[in-house]
Amino acid sequence: MAPSVQQLPEDILVASIEKLAITKEAPTAAVKEVEVPKEVEAPNAEAPKEAAKDAPKVKRQIEIEGGKTDAKYPQYLPTWNHGQKYPPLEPFTHVEHGKGADPTFKDLLPEGSKIKKLTPSTGSEVTGVQLSKLTAAGKDQLALLVAQRKVVAFRDQDFADLPLQEALDFGGYFGRHHIHPTSGSPEDFPELHIVHRYGATGSEFDSFLANRNSSVSWHSDVTYELQTPGTTFLYIFDSPETGGDTLFANQVEAYNRLSEPLKERLHGLKAVHSGFEQAQFSRDRDGVVRREPVKHEHPLIRTHPATGEKALFVNSGFTRSIVGLKKEESDALLAFLLNHIGRGVDYQARVSWEPKTVVVWDNRITVHTATADWSTGERRHLARITPQAEIPFETPYVKPETVTKA
Ligand SMILES: [Fe+2]
């Protein structure tokens, strides 16, 4: 289906579902919430007292769970503070640490560590490395490795056990922290984007799926910003015994698969990426909007600053139209490109979450989707660190050299 500003962006829907907080004590509310995803009020919340009327509303997951929780990392449970308001983002100069990094990865992958490919083109899994102990050279090589492999899962990490500020300090090496305009975050750490789903039952999930065929929603994070995220981190606290995998599609390979005439035509085009629908979706459900929404035009084909690879840069979450094309043309071309990306199982990777896993992806050259495929009520709880990178840029189309047979 062609994207449309009237259409509910699936990215927003999944984000809301993931942070949906439903107590098992409130099954009626739970069903209602799945039908119209939003953050849930505390079931026992009293009417605000007169004196507290002017205080900003703060919803806390821990209170929604009755003041006690079996979450393994309660310090990472989300809060939603309606008093948090941030000014528009200012441009900043991004330093791309993957550029010029040592391609032997000797500081990132020392002797004894192991790396294996998840699929030939996309994704790797690493064991025997402790990210939190990396030197600056190791971090530079991390940015390069992730740019090359698009997504890398690091197992057995101590990241979740670090003080929250230390985890942020680590991520801040790779770019300026993005504060998400509509997500929940740990109190006093708005830079941490929390992904959280808890307490769903089979009937709630049935209710959700009644109007949708699938929870799959390919997107790159917050591409409506002028400087979109680059090397991005997601780490796990709780996950269902099975299910809740995250899938990644390789946008470099999606570009490579196109015919040369189409590649050449797409170069020079720009697309509109909008955050307005996400903000409105949150407002409509009494969610937070911490920064006024923006939209930006980005090249349809962007070049990675470290590898020089070209990638398709459109996603169903936020890309609304192609600049300069008439509506039917724009809708048709976007629909083709988004369908092409979504069906490319031969350039995608599926990451299964194990305890103590940190997944690092390059948000410039991938799209991803969560998989809401479990209905056991088990908690899925993760935190994202989202360093912003350069303003997307493109380099000219280069025709492949003609191979002449001897
Ligand atoms: Fe995402």
At CB < 8 A and 24+ separation, what contacts does 84-90 make?
84/56, 84/190, 84/288, 84/290, 85/290, 85/291, 86/179, 86/181, 86/190, 86/290, 86/291, 87/291, 88/291, 88/292, 88/294, 89/225, 89/226, 89/227, 89/291, 89/294
Question: What angle (nearest 5°) sits at the alpha carbon of residue 295, between those of residues 291 and 296?
Answer: 125
Q: What is the mean pLDDT of residues 238-267?
A: 97
Distance from the alpha carbon of residue 226 to the mean position of ligand 1, in angstroms: 17
Query: Cα 390 to the chain's mean position, in Å?
Result: 17
Segment 316-333, tens digit of pLDDT = 999 999 999 999 999 999
Ligand 1: distance of its center to the CA of 42 in Å? 26
Q: Reply yes or no on whether the pLDDT at 48 is more than 80.
A: no
- pLDDT at position 215 is 86
C-alpha of residue 218 to centroid of ligand 1, in Å = 8
**Ligand 1 mean position, distance from CA 328 (Å):** 28
pLDDT of amino acid 3: 37
CA of 106 to the centre of ligand 1 (A): 30
Euclidean distance between CA atoms 341 and 358, whole angstroms: 25
Alpha-carbon distance values, 378 to 40, 111, 185 (Å): 17, 38, 20
Residues less than 5 Å from ion ligand 1, measured at CB: 221
pLDDT (mean) for 381-402: 95
Q: Give residue 194 CA to ligand 1 midpoint distance, Å.
A: 11
- Ligand 1 center–CA 292 separation, angstroms: 20
| pLDDT value, residue 208 | 56
* Cα 200 to Cα 222: distance, rounded to the nearest angstrom: 26
CATH topology of domain 10-44+55-82+114-388: Double-stranded beta-helix (3.60.130)
Residue 26 has pLDDT above 90, yes or no: no
How far away, in angstroms, is 160 Cα from ligand 1 center?
19
Can you count the helices (H) and strands (E) in the chain? 10, 19
Domain boundaries, the chain: 10-44+55-82+114-388
Q: Tell me the average pLDDT across 105-121.
A: 98
Q: Quote the tokens at residue 390.
A: 């350069």
Q: Which of 302, 291, 310 is nearest to 228 (CA)?
A: 302
Taking the complete model, does pTM exceed 0.75, yes or no? yes
Q: Give 151-204 pLDDT, tens digit per residue.
A: 999 999 999 999 999 999 999 999 999 999 999 999 999 999 999 998 854 444
Model pLDDT, residue 261: 98
